[in-house]
Amino acid sequence: MPEQNAGLFGGVFDRGGAPTGDVAWLQALLDAEAALARAVERARLAPEGAGEAVTKAAVAANFSVAEVAEVARSTELTGNPVPGLARVLARRVPGPAAKAVHLGATSQDIMDTAAMLLARQAIDATLADLDQAASAAARLADAHRVTLMIGRTLLQQAVPVTFGLVAAGWLSSLDDAIAGLRAVRATRLAAQFGGAAGTLASLGAQGPWVARAFADELGLAAPALPWHTDRLRIIDVATAMARATAALGKIARDVTLLAQTEVAEVAEGSPGVNGAVGVSGAGGAARPAEAGAMTGGAPRRGGSSAMPNKNNPVAAVAILGCARQVPGLLATVLSCAEQEHQRAAGAWHAEWQPFSDVLRLAGSAAAWGADLLSGLRVDAARMGANLAATGGLPLAERVTGLLAGALGRPRAHDLVAGAAARAVSSGLPLRDVLLAAAEVEAAGISAEQVDAALDPAGYLGGSEEFIAAALRAHERDGLG
């Protein structure tokens, strides 16, 4: 069978992760059919050696273009690819062993089980990349515990923080996403085997035993009973992947804002540049070669088709491109949960593509996230310069606290607000305006006290403790 084409946009949306396209689905369906054949042989419902024969035939790469086309055409007649696939597979199995193909199953058994197999592969690949991203975030948090920068709320400067605290926040959300995915992988991936209406009547008393053997062959959980119209397992997988994508999207949005030319506090680079990750000091912006400069006429990462000066944050942008699509896809998966009686008319069918796309996009976002955080370059000097650029205004809250003891909080608040407005209109530092105010002198506040209040390093609250707690949790939970 020909290799699957990643498509024109595959470099952005199919990066990393496990495959979830047509070839991957076909192999997962075949894996389910092969496991079923082995299970029914174990139950002595098929000839000895039937399981091995079906397994040998159930290799997607060995299917011809004509066989795949036959399966595709049959989908138009039956509403799903399984009946056609079962017929093609049975023809590929010699002699009586063909009896083991699809024995006792309905199409949804094979489709749902294949979805669980794809989910397991996708979760494993996504977890590997999330682990790498979280490790990089932990290194950033540790390396930048005292790297001062301005905090921003509602996109405006607020009070000082450290970049280590920012990275610790990223780490905490990634660790939560990893824990959620691990829990889903451990508890929510189950085989589906119920036959026509969830009773396995065609297998008689051996039906439940075959269901357990089927799950065992695949390494999936054996559910208490078939879950044909109980779609919470599908929802749980999609939700866990969406949570991971949401965590990555927040990080990517922060990076795009911090990497703006006028801000320039971080820049994307190549993972592992100079043997370090994101710990550059002053002048930490990527050098041309590290930013993917044009070499020998080859396209460079971050480049623009029109502006040769550009160094776009491609990894962050790609993550956001993935993350923007997932909520709508998750909503579709959720909307499909209302299913009729023992088999849904349309809602089950509507799951297939959005579920696959959630797996694909979450995996791609995670791969980009590992790349982004492993190569992130931090310009501590630029952070300090941006913090100092407002002449002490971000410390207005602290100065208010200093004056409140002598003037009362409302009066102190109004005084500092007026001083801040005069500092902005005059271009003078807040310190100078405050020390020129008669109320400050009358309150007995010294220049040394004002200077201390305006020192950003002294107004970080519990930042260090929060960073340490995030790092301890990362190590404790086996994520470090």
Q: Which residues are catalytic?
A: 304, 343
Residue whose C-alpha is closest to residue 222's, from 200, 196, 244? 200
Give strand pairing partners of 288: none
- Write the burial class of residue 66 (CB in 10 Å: 0-12 exposed, 13-18 middle, 19+ buried): exposed
DSSP 221: B
Per the structure block, which two tokens stand in for 345?
A: 């008319």
Q: What is the dihedral of CA 324, 326, 330, 333, to 10 degrees?
A: 130
CB 400 within 8 A of CB 430: no
Query: Tokens 């280590």 map to which residue?
Result: 164
Q: What is the dihedral of CA 193, 194, 196, 200, to 10 degrees?
A: 110
- Beta strands in 2-126, from DSSP E residues, in sequence order: none
Query: HSE of 269 in the Cβ direction (CA atoms, 13 Å)?
Result: 26
* Rounded Cα distance, 176 and 377, in Å: 24
How many angstroms separate the Cα of 230 from the Cα of each of 225, 233, 347, 421? 10, 8, 12, 60
* Rounded Cα distance, 189 and 151, in Å: 41
346's CB contacts (< 8 A; 6+ apart) are none
* Rounded Cα distance, 463 and 480, in Å: 20
CB 181 within 8 A of CB 240: yes
Residue whose C-alpha is closest to residue 399's, from 458, 343, 352? 458
Report the residue count for the chain.
480
Per the structure block, which two tokens stand in for 462?
A: 């519990």
Residue whose C-alpha is closest to residue 366's, from 198, 233, 240? 240
Give strand pairing partners of 157: 152
Give strand pairing partners of 152: 157
